[in-house]
Amino acid sequence: MAENSSFRQMTEEELRVHIEKYADLIVRKGLNPDPGQEVLVIAGLDQPEFVRMVVRKLYEQGAGRVVVAWEDMALAKLDQLHRSEENLSSLADWELAKWKWRAEKLPALLWLDSDDPDGMAGIDQGKRARSQSPRFPLIKPFREAMENRHQWCIAGVPGIPWAEKVFPGLQGKAAEKRLWEAILQAARAAGDDPVEAWEEHNQTIHRRAETLNAYHFRALEYKSPNGTDFKVGLMPCGLFAGGCETDLSGRVYNPNIPSEEIFTSPKRGEAEGVLVSTKPLSWQGSLIENFSIRFAEGKAVEVHATRNQEALEKIISMDENAGFLGECALIDHRSPISDTGILFWNTLYDENASCHLALGRGFDVCVTDYAKYSREELKALGVNDSMIHVDFMVGSADLDITGITPSGEKIPVFRRGSWVF
């Protein structure tokens, strides 16, 4: 994909001003913490000044305590290379204590993603997958205790290895600056008032979701000349959602900045056909490229990839439900992210430039009156449950999506990559 010639470049002063507005957007519209609420920030080592800026704004917004957990992919890779599989499979008492703290305190969670898309290249994917599986049952009760009970937000900040991957003709700080500009444009943070822009954006997403929900679709069909020929079932009680969300305490937040998607959770076990990827998938520091997935009776039964097929095979076998779908997301091919003409090599951005689906866990919030159901009841309705949730992109300028109503009527939803309504 060629970079759009209209992609905006900024002076150093303009960049500084808009980075400050971006931090404000993340705090006010992304997390929106309650007065006195604790906040957990997870960040790499790439942008410490920006992390400090966000923490300052969180306190100015009224946060009671902000805890920053620093991460480093290079150290994580050393763990994978040198720790035994048995050692990697265990959770130390202090790790369990951290999960317990999160489940009890329900801090708002902010993840500032700057990971190198190739940062885990060369590790043993089998060892990694096998070591993650025993940890999942230990962590799952804490995750379920937090589900829909606190705000969370994922946003991006540039790291130089990531920036040089996106802009291979640039190096170091020049690549980093260019990625900052791209992130700001993709996040609708390059204008005068990003907060107001997001309020309008959320209204647009909610209006379109209401239109979809009025049809009560029972299935979606995907067709593209690249080989995608696929049908997925939807739950009778299912909902399309998108934009800002509301947790069970009534707090409004935006879980992804940027976000262009309107999504639903499909009905587990109802998926047939082939999906062909249109963008690479960066999964835990490994790039999977040029791949396809064939589904039968709802489950991924065959995968092919020109790069890192082993990683894709590990994804669909992480647990017994990893090969089933948890999400169908609709994004116009002419989104602000797509219009940059940039391949970000990062799922947060590339998924919001392209229609995508996700393997693994579904969303409770995509069920009407979800709070009145137990976990087992939600599963019985068709919400998939898994230790993973991995998005992969299938959208393109020639993708058609058709909705099928309960009476069997076929309603065009996307034609040539864009919304019909």
List the chain domain ranges. Answer: 12-419
pLDDT at 7: 62
Q: Is the pLDDT of residue 402 over 90?
A: yes
pLDDT at 335: 84
Per the model's pLDDT, the better-predicted residue between 254 and 133 turns out to be 254
- The 3-state DSSP class for residue 377 equals helix
Domain 12-419 has CATH 3.40.50.720: no
The kind and range of the H/E element at 302 are strand 299-307
What's the rounded Cα separation, in Å, for the pair 158 and 176? 6
pLDDT one-digit tens code per residue, 312-368: 999 999 999 999 999 999 999 988 888 888 999 998 999 899 999 999 999 999 999
Q: Is the pLDDT of residue 4 over 90?
A: no
Q: pTM of the entire structure?
A: 0.89
Nearest Cα neighbor of 22 from 190, 154, 162, 255 is 190
What's the rounded Cα separation, in Å, for the pair 300 and 181? 38
Mean pLDDT of 228-249: 97
Q: Is the pLDDT of residue 57 over 60?
A: yes
pLDDT one-digit tens code per residue, 160-204: 999 999 999 999 999 999 999 999 999 999 999 999 999 999 999
